Chains A and B, each alone.
Chain A
């Protein structure tokens, strides 16, 4: 069974601070996705990383895929209240059943104005 561990589980920071959240596994994934979910809504895809060592930037968000494709991080620079939400990572496997996403439990981020 593939598992994704996300840390920290909860994070509360002041507006303007930087933060990093982590997504770790003992399994190798063909790609990894990050979603943000706001209260009362479904997850919204932010990015997909595919290549080991890949770094993608989305405005103030920087996503990195580990060299071994087992882990990923999300770094937010100068956090804004609009960044508040649940951040989920999801791994895409390989081989039979690889269409299935394995989700982590998420990191709940609160950015205080």
Chain B
């Protein structure tokens, strides 16, 4: 148990589907992140939230929509995805934006068909 829980662990969706990824942390951290991990590429930062406020959106397509209802929960809403969006989506948290210790969840393996 890493303290950051992601569900579902695996997801297969069609290009016209709408689905959501969920992340929950029990560490009392104030910052949460979404990363995308694709084969042969470095981890890509997608979104950053601090105290439920979005502070970073790294040119992510609008078919990815984040939501942070409170400091313990983070969602990534997906719609009209493309096959190239298939990847491992990782959630992470840190004490605050300037904390140097990041805790990652186990990820959601997403396959778009």
Contact = CB atoms under 8 A, between A and B. Distances in A.
Contacts of A33: 100, 102
A43 B90 CA distance: 9
Contacts of B92: 42
Interface residues of A, number: 24
B108 to A, nearest CB: 10
B106 A4 contact: no
B45 A100 contact: yes
A92 B2 CA distance: 22
B7 interface: no
B15 interface: no
A69 B40 CA distance: 25
B21 interface: no
A44 B97 contact: no
B31 interface: yes
Nearest to A3: B42
A40 B106 contact: yes
B59 interface: no
Interface string B1-28: 0101010010000000000000000000
B43 A88 contact: yes
24 contacts: A33-B102, A35-B104, A40-B106, A40-B109, A41-B106, A42-B2, A42-B4, A42-B105, A42-B106, A42-B107, A43-B90, A44-B2, A45-B102, A45-B103, A48-B101, A92-B100, A99-B97, A100-B48, A101-B45, A101-B102, A102-B42, A103-B42, A104-B42, A106-B42
